[in-house]
A and B are shown apart, each in its own frame.
Chain A
Amino acid sequence: MNAKQIMKDGLFYQNPVLVQLLGMCSCMAVTTTLFNGLGMGLSVTAILICSNVVISLLRRLIPSKIRIAAYIVIIAGFVTMVDLLLQAFLPALSNSLGVFIPLIVVNCIILGRAEAFASKNGVAASALDGLFQGLGYTMVTVVMSVIRELLGNGTFGAGVFGDGIRLIPAGYPALLMILPFGGFLTLGCLIAFSQWALKKRQEKEGAK
């Protein structure tokens, strides 16, 4: 497996959210401030790396009939560990992400990568795949939360830099962007952009 290819796939060509259309729930629900978006992205990345490594290690030991159940238990284990560690050492993040931390268990990205990649590839490749798929997801949550926070709340980086840097005076921002509607709209536009960019690239390669 080519490490560079895994990186490019995870971040762009096979981005879990924009191209594979996985893990949209958490992407929309928590991306209201940079702090949340970044925290969620990094938590998912950490869990994804761990679960990919363990599942890749165990891939010959788990009978295929019960593999999904086994994967879910392993993933749930890692999610709970992250949840407990966040509660103990980063209570602010754990408070603001709330129920969405345990819900990482059913984030389709993690089970999807376990099934599509880790169960077929070696440990090192699976770890890299977990890292870059996770970073691809983090990229999307960060971009979404920056856009939504700016348009919906008028600030940048709330939670990371105190109350955030106010870029639009209070009273002007469209609160709507923080509501679910804003999530659907922002994600729709981002996916449209990625479709456009990927098509451009295809045309360019076709022309060569």
Chain B
Amino acid sequence: MTRQSNFRYYLRLTLTLFLITAIVAALLGAVNAVTAGRIESLRQERTQAAMREVLAAEDYVPAACDEPGVQAIHAAMRGGSLAGYVVEVAPAGFGGAISMVVGVDLAGTVTGVSIVSMAETSGLGDNAKKESFRSQFVGGSGQLAVTKDGGTIDALTGATVTSRAVTSGVNTAIAAAASAREAE
């Protein structure tokens, strides 16, 4: 093969691959444009529902927070006065981040925990969504831990990693609420 045709051959390889990638990217952009809005509104809907579940209030005002591991923190306003904080956290579980919302009242006590989305093993880790597991956190304060680590939270059968992750998420939220309260 001469140098010239060699070059043209490689040029053709590169161009074909580039063209395919470009077409795929364009198509994906189109699909994304169609679905992005829906995905985002679904996510917001879920988060809103979860916030109302963990700490009922009329209005949620985003507050500033620079605690590590906190996605967002909202001040829950009831009748014009502060009722507590709703903290969005995403601790790393078994199958990626667990996106969850924790309500903390002004005394630093957990009022509720809700899982927005998670990719834990179904039948095991995803039992964390069950009321019986989540309700263990309600009323807790300070630093919580699963029984295996000397705490009071009963871990899910066969899903210690998930249980620890949710517990650490709750702890992060309690700390974030405390620091937000101080900053107030």
Contacts and interface: CB of A to CB of B under 8 A. Distances in A.
A194 interface: no
Nearest to A153: B123
A96 B126 contact: yes
Given A84-B35, A88-B42, A179-B158, A66 B122 contact: no
Given A70-B17, A95-B117, A77 B124 contact: no
What interface size band does chain B fall in?
20 to 34
Interface string B112-143: 00000111011110100000000000000000
Contacts of B95: 98-99
Given A70-B17, A178-B121, A63 B12 contact: yes
B39 interface: yes
B157 A81 contact: no
A149 B123 CA distance: 8
A88 B35 contact: yes
Contact of A33 (B24, B122, B157): B122
A175 interface: yes
B38 A88 contact: yes
Interface string B1-45: 000000001001100110011001001100110110011001000
A185 B32 CA distance: 40
A88 B34 CA distance: 9
Contacts of A81: 27-28, 31
Contacts of A88: 34-35, 38-39, 42
Nearest to A180: B121
B96 interface: yes
A63 B28 CA distance: 24
B17 A69 contact: yes
Interface string B34-59: 11001100100000000000000000
Given A62-B20, A88-B34, 11 more contacts: A32-B124, A61-B16, A69-B17, A73-B17, A77-B27, A85-B35, A87-B35, A96-B122, A98-B119, A153-B123, A175-B158
